[in-house]
Structure 1
Amino acid sequence: MKRLLWFMASLTLGIMFTAQSNALANSGSLSTTAKVTLSGDGSTKPVNPGGPTDPDDSGNNGTGSKGKLTLDYVPNLTFKQQRVTKGQIVTTATNRGAYVQISDRRFTGAGWQLQVKPSPLVGEKDFSEISAAALQLGSASFAKASTTNVSASPTVTDSATSLIPIGSYSLVASANKGTGLGTWLLQVNRSTIAPTKLLVNNADVKQQQTYQGALTWLLTDTPQ
């Protein structure tokens, strides 16, 4: 069984908490910036999946990756802290235009897998580390980047309520053999019922400060 690594793209997360243990939290915010170094040949520009450009991600011009199988775009996300429930801080992404863009230009149609790994969050003042946290992508779906894309759709493998834990890769989408050809957009945070969330253990937040972490997106050839 063959597993070929193609690309890794890093996304930094800055999170502001105003929470205190055993107390209701005030509003906070999160801002992220994509940092990617990729190489190859033949690039695809990010495609706006409908509607105006996301103002929370207006400076994101994509990864600039090149090759036959590429991760073209990963989103910056902004989270707004909403509440503390049973010792948990729950933050919800505010940008409704978030998406991940993947292009498969190979003639083989071998398929691919998309995984993501969150890193621990580190406080900018005291360097305290939060590892008791997880992401939920929420409701997610694939859309074609063009009407000329005639391939069958990839599959979202992560459910709306699945937890993506810190420190390990989680499979979020895949294309079986013969599917996922062309350029596809994995759209997230479109649903108000099942939005993209960040869940943090309230007891791990020692003081009001910005916490910095990373999301690493990994696109691989499907094992054969």
Structure 2
Amino acid sequence: MNIKKSLISGVLGLLIVLTLVSPAAIAATANTGTSTGHVSLTTGAPTTPVDPIYPNVPDGSTGNIGALTIDNITSLEFGSWQVSNTTLTVASTISNPNTQVTDVRGTGAGWKLQVASSTFASGGNTLKGASIYLPAGTAQTISGNTSTAPVLNAVTLDTTAGTAVDLMSAEAGSGMGTWADLMDPTQIKLTIPAGNLAGNYTATLTWTLVDAP
């Protein structure tokens, strides 16, 4: 009996010790604390133009400086063709046709790039009814940019009306950083109706960057 009583007393004593020690041990491993991290971002103010991701041939760099800029625009060369009794549709021969916009305002306000074409003229003659088709290109950016890409639109430029159309559109919260609209030159088309005079025709493309979506 004494042995049993001793064993029982020992077990009870061990349980009491475990009960008293365990909560303290758990509490000792539950200590926590917090700290903070901080960074401040301000509107970008570049002092030199942003280089084109895809340089044009011929060069299309604008030299623009600021927090919202057109960095690169493309000229369009369509070669030489004979006057035809049917409508001519010809592709551009330019290398790396693209437009590029940089937005370092840090506001996420959005923007849109518009383009319009004047009438093709040669001396006192104009290229009647001509239009330029620009395809929806592919959005290219600098490595590491986390912003959502702008929307790239396929557009037709009426060279007679000279109406501006939206080629690139960045909704609020998108299009931040540097973005290029890289187009396939074989998909850039000039359409020339029959009935036009022979000549060396030139048009002017006007690119306008609007600081709102």
- TM-score w.r.t. the length of structure 1 is 0.67
The structure with the greater share of residues assigned to strand is 1
Conservation of the 8 A alpha-carbon contact between 1:95 and 1:189? no
Aligned partner of 2:79 in structure 1 is: 80
TM-fit CA distance, 1:84: 8.0
Does residue 1:222 correspond to 2:212, yes or no? yes
- Among 101, 123, 134, which residue is 1:137 paired with? 134
Q: CA RMSD in A?
A: 2.4
Structure 2 residue 205 is the aligned partner of structure 1 residue 206:
no
Q: CA separation in 2, counterparts of 1:48 and 1:156?
A: 17
Counterpart in 1 of 2:49?
A: 44
Q: Give the C-alpha shift of residue 185 in structure 1.
A: 0.7
Structure having the higher Rg: 2
- Residue identity (%): 27
Render the CA deviation track for 1:118-147: whole Å, top value 9, x for unaligned: 0011113xx112241111112412111x11
| 1:183 is the counterpart of 2:188 | no
- Distance in 1, matches of 2:65 and 2:99, equals 16
Match of 2:149 in 1: 153
User: Deviation at 1:86?
Assistant: 7.7
Q: Matches of residues 68-107 of structure 1 in structure 2 within 5 Å? A: 68-80=67-79, 87-107=86-106
- Structure ranking higher in helix proportion: 2
The residue aligned with 2:189 is: 197
Distance 1:87 1:200 in 2: 9
Q: Normalized against structure 2, the TM-score is what?
A: 0.70
- How many residues align? The count is 167
Tell me by how many angstroms 1:100 deviates.
0.6
Write the deviation string for residues 161-185 of structure 1: whole angstroms up to 9, x where unpaired.
x422121111111001111001111
Aligned to 1:163: 156
Inter-CA distance 82–130: structure 2 relative to 1 (3 Å threshold): closer
The higher-RCO structure (CA 8 Å, 6+ apart) is 1
Distance 2:106 2:97 in 1: 29
Contact 2:50 2:102 in 1 (8 A): no
